[in-house]
Structure 1
Amino acid sequence: MHGNGRHQDGTAPRVVVGVSGSLGSLAALHRGVAEARERGAELWPVLAWEPPGGEHGYRRSPCPPLLTAVREAAERRLDEALEAAFGADGPGVTMQPVVIRGETGPALVHVADRPGDLLVLGRSGGLLRRRLRRSVSAHCARRAGCPVLTVPVPALLQDLHELEALHRRARWHLPVLPAAELLAMKG
């Protein structure tokens, strides 16, 4: 990079952040802003979307009005996530929001395609959810041509998952384990 914060090709450095609207992605947005400030970079929040049933299903049964509705819903979801993260004042750095059609991991790697980029991801969902879906962070770590930073699950989100598990146990009339046993299971 040159002294003005730009790369040799004249482009500004970028911090690309995967956004879904989850608490984990909102934490990643905040970390992305901090990284963008530190690097003198632009913030590129990216929300990837796919047609219902995926690309293969859409090719078998195309429906352009449905595709338009899903794309518009993705745009709204990104706007709502940015509003939730930063309010009306915005992030305080130059921002270039991107809504891209494609599977999340490959789409993020496609956008964060410069060696000087930084790709920031949040973790969200419980263990079961992560096992049922492909890991976006693992895909990006393997395939990205730039550094990938994974932001840990915020403590509040972790507490929420534990409360939900407790609620499920109570609903199914399962015994609630003492705190010491829960800690032993975690460790």
Structure 2
Amino acid sequence: MSGYGTSPTARVVVGVSGSLGSVTALRRATALARRLGAELWPVLAWEPPGGEAATRRTATSGLLTEDWQRLAKQRLASVLDEIFGEDGPGVTAHPVVVRGLPGPALVATADRDTDLLVVGAGRRGLRRAFSGRVSRHCLAHAVCPVLAVPPSPLASALMAVHRRNAWHRRMDTREL
């Protein structure tokens, strides 16, 4: 990885959705961009509700598409502001909003062999079989190195609390 910091156009591309896994990946990507002297490219991929086929069937799809694009830009700006605040990430950042599925959108954005693509690795446990599609797609199709960041330890603790709340079970607060 030492060769990445030598090019002035080196980029660290990271998928951002606002989920805890994507926030963990964003923090790791930011630290890597600082260390490598690279640009940070946070990418939020979006699709219209109902998918592309539903959009083609409506007469006002152009207006709706503009609204969804604007909302996606607002969401990305909100996530970046929440994570970095007014100080920013400390590196040159180029936030990008892409219409499409997350995996192909990230691979298309990280299209240089000098890029580094950072993605969240998905959940662990019972939901493992149904998660991680984005990271698997990126690992299989990217032309650049891919770093799959494991979930934060906080994620499993939050899931345990969520399960307890869903089952209306008491929580032992002595450990908190």
TM more than 0.5: yes
1:20 aligns with 2:21: no
Kindly tell me the number of residue pairs found equivalent between the two proteins: 168
**Would the aligned equivalents of 1:23 and 1:124 in 2 still touch at CA under 8 Å?**
no
For 1:147, the equivalent position in structure 2 comes to 145
Summarize the Cα distance change of 1:4–1:23 in structure 2 as closer, same or farther, 3 Å threshold.
closer
> Which among 135, 138, 142 is matched to residue 136 of structure 2?
138
State TM-score, norm by structure 1. Answer: 0.81
Q: Secondary structure of the equivalent of 1:170?
A: coil
> Which among 52, 55, 58 is matched to residue 55 of structure 1?
52
CA RMSD of aligned residues (A): 2.5
The 2-side partners of 1:4 and 1:142 are apart by 24
> Which among 107, 131, 135 is matched to residue 109 of structure 1?
107
The within-5 A match list for 1:1-187 is 5-6=6-7, 12-62=9-59, 63-124=61-122, 131-132=129-130, 135-170=133-168
Residues 70-109 of structure 1, C-alpha deviations (whole Å, 9 max, x = no match): 1111001100110111111000001111001111100000
Instruction: State the Cα distance separating 1:61 from its structure 2 match.
Output: 2.4
Q: Secondary structure of the equivalent of 2:6?
A: coil
Q: Secondary structure of the equivalent of 1:52?
A: coil
**Would the aligned equivalents of 2:13 and 2:110 in 1 still touch at CA under 8 Å?**
yes
Unaligned runs of 5+ in 2: 171-176
Unaligned runs of 5+ in 1: 177-187
- Equivalent pairs: percent with the same residue? 50
Q: Secondary structure of the equivalent of 2:82?
A: helix
**Would the aligned equivalents of 2:4 and 2:10 in 1 still touch at CA under 8 Å?**
no
Residue type at the aligned position of 2:93: M
